[in-house]
Amino acid sequence: MNQIGRAILCGGLVAGTIDIGAAALISHLNPAVILHAIASGVLGKASFVGGATAAWLGLGLQWAMSLLIAAIFATTARRMAWLRRRWLPAGLAYGVAVYVVMNYVVVPLSAAPFKAPAAPTLIVANLLAMLLFGLIVAFFARTVAARAN
């Protein structure tokens, strides 16, 4: 596997997995419920009675989205060296962008039976989780891409 592939794989899987834990902590729910909520983007309310199969689908969807998000950043950072040099602010900005796209584009267009959180504390908590997500993705893109140069 090449360097950019490692950055995408490591950044996406680490950030995606930590994001599941963060969502569980924020919502005070079992991670399996979070995975069912993710699967509801495809299955709708049926995901919550879908058992382990729906949870595994949720995990697969989470990792697929996380890998795609990491791929977008890593391939852009490969072409724009300043994203690697300034990975900290770039990762934070990317986290904000991911938060906006996921909450105001992806989830509303999905079959998920819920909306973006409206309570200020939930908005802040979810935004902080996405800032961490962006930092993780940017860290791996910076570290691996720097070794390639």
Q: What is the pLDDT of residues 26-39, one digit of tens each?
A: 999 999 999 999 99
Structure token digits, residue 14: 């680490």
pLDDT value at 134 more than 70: yes
Measured in degrees and rounded to the nearest 5, phi and psi for residue 134 equal -60, -40
pLDDT band at 140 (very low <50, low <70, confident <90, very high): very high
Helix orientation angle between 51-79 and 87-101, rounded to the nearest 10 degrees: 140
Strand extents, DSSP E, the chain: none
Give the pLDDT confidence of 61-111 residue by residue, as tens digits.
999 999 999 999 999 998 898 999 999 999 999 999 999 999 999 999 999
Q: Is the pLDDT of residue 148 over 60?
A: no
